[in-house]
A and B are shown apart, each in its own frame.
Chain A
Amino acid sequence: MLSQIPLSYFLIVSTLMFFIGVYGFLTRKNLITILMSVELILNSVNINFVAFNRYLYPEQLQGHFFALFVIAVAAAEAAVAIAIIISVYRKFMNIDVERVDTMKH
């Protein structure tokens, strides 16, 4: 049964995933890989929401619905980010964050 797995296992998995995403966010230089790290971070937050919902408040569905809304926000964010990335690529012919510094003062 599910009760054999404590809640903290889920939280540890999502914590590790979150910090792996932060590592990728800090070390990568390509805009698309940075976007993928952000997706990892959002996904780990979703696991937290759902596990808390199932283990602590199973009679309400708040975590479930907010996980749904986070997925929708992540989809919108990915669409806008990719539009920006394509626009940047047209202007600079690459998407390396260190070479896109025209607006840097």
Chain B
Amino acid sequence: MSIHEIMFFLFAGMIILFSILTVTSRRILRAATYLLFVLISTSGIYFMLNYQFLAAVQLTLYAGGIVVIIIFSILLTSHINHRFEKIELKKSIFTIIAVAAGAILSISTILSYNFNTKVLVTENPDMQLIGTSLLSYGKNGYVLPFEVISILLLAAMFGSIVIAKKEKSK
């Protein structure tokens, strides 16, 4: 077993284990912490695939940003020691059956499909290439989604301020 395989199975095991803990933990703050571990191991997988910029974005934006606002809202809306009641057994079993059927179908499709994998180029795309293709409008340019995302972020910022602000008392 090479070091790459060991790292991959470590990250994959962490992702699956902590994903299960995220959706089954009965304390909400612990669920958020497990989600943080899932996001960090995902960024480990990006580092393994040698997309270092994407991995850094995943760490700062997802693990740093989204988890922090989730924890903030947990502290604003729930009691720390509160435990959720157990999920009804019947509901849980039916959901597991449905989800397992979907997972088995997808995995069997993936395993039976013969991917035409090319000779691997494993070099990290340098920052200059990423920056120029984000802002170019020729072939392999992504300026349109970039601008759409910027408008979306602006709209989300205004929207969340308007929604969350206190109504004036009459």
* Interface, chain A (partner B; CB < 8 A): 1-13, 15-17, 19-24, 26-30, 32-33, 35-37, 39-40, 43, 46-47, 50-51, 53-61, 64-69, 71-80, 82-87, 89-90, 94-95
Residues on B with beta carbons closer than 8 Å to the beta carbon of A69: 145-146, 149
A-B contact count (CB 8 A): 225
Number of interface residues of B (CB under 8 A): 83
B14 to chain A, nearest CB (A): 10
B70 is an interface residue with CB less than 8 A from chain A: yes
Query: Is chain B's interface secondary structure helix, strand, loop, or mixed overall?
Result: helix
B87-111: CB near A (< 8 Å → 1, else 0) gives 1000110011011101100110011
A10 with B133: CB separation less than 8 A: no
Q: Which of A17, A47, A90 counts the most B-chain CB atoms under 10 A from its CB?
A: A17
Closest partner residue, chain B, to A74 (CB atom): B66
* Interface, chain B (partner A; CB < 8 A): 2, 4-5, 8, 12, 15-16, 19-20, 22-24, 28, 31-32, 35, 38-39, 42, 45-46, 48-51, 54, 57-58, 61-62, 65-66, 69-70, 72-74, 76-78, 84, 87, 91-92, 95-96, 98-100, 102-103, 106-107, 110-111, 115-118, 120-122, 125, 129-130, 133-134, 140, 142, 145-146, 149, 152-153, 155-157, 159-161, 163-164, 166
| Contact (A2, B48) CB under 8 Å given A13-B16, A36-B31, A56-B115 | yes
Residues on A with beta carbons closer than 8 Å to the beta carbon of B74: 32
A17 to B130: give the CA distance in the assembly, Å.
28
